[in-house]
Amino acid sequence: MSISFESDEIILEQLRKRLRSMTDAELIKFGKDVRRLAENPFQRQLEEARKEWKRRKEAAASSNRSF
């Protein structure tokens, strides 16, 4: 039994060939699917935590200005 690995360049070329054979609709769907798979759920949580932190700091700053 032998295990063979393909180089990144070979894999990329196979992907390019597959993408070229897709219709516009298939290419759009593929792009949307890959984007969803490539998202890091922890990154989104981090961004939301940062937004909340910023919102709180802005709210505290604006309440301090009113005194």
pLDDT digits 0-9 by tens, 14-52 = 999 999 999 999 999 999 999 888 888 898 899 999 999
| Alpha-carbon gap, residue 62 to 60, rounded angstroms | 5
Looking at the predicted structure, is the pLDDT value of residue 8 above 60?
yes
Looking at the predicted structure, is the pLDDT value of residue 2 above 90?
no
Q: How confident is the model at residue 66 (pLDDT cuts 50, 70, 90)?
A: low
Q: What does DSSP assign to residue 22?
A: S
61 within 8 A of 54, measured Cβ to Cβ: no
27 within 8 A of 19, measured Cβ to Cβ: yes
Long-range contacts of 34-42 (CB under 8 A, 24+ apart): none
19 within 8 A of 30, measured Cβ to Cβ: yes
Which pLDDT does position 67 carry in this prediction?
56
**pTM for the full predicted model:** 0.55
Tokens describing residue 40 = 């890091």
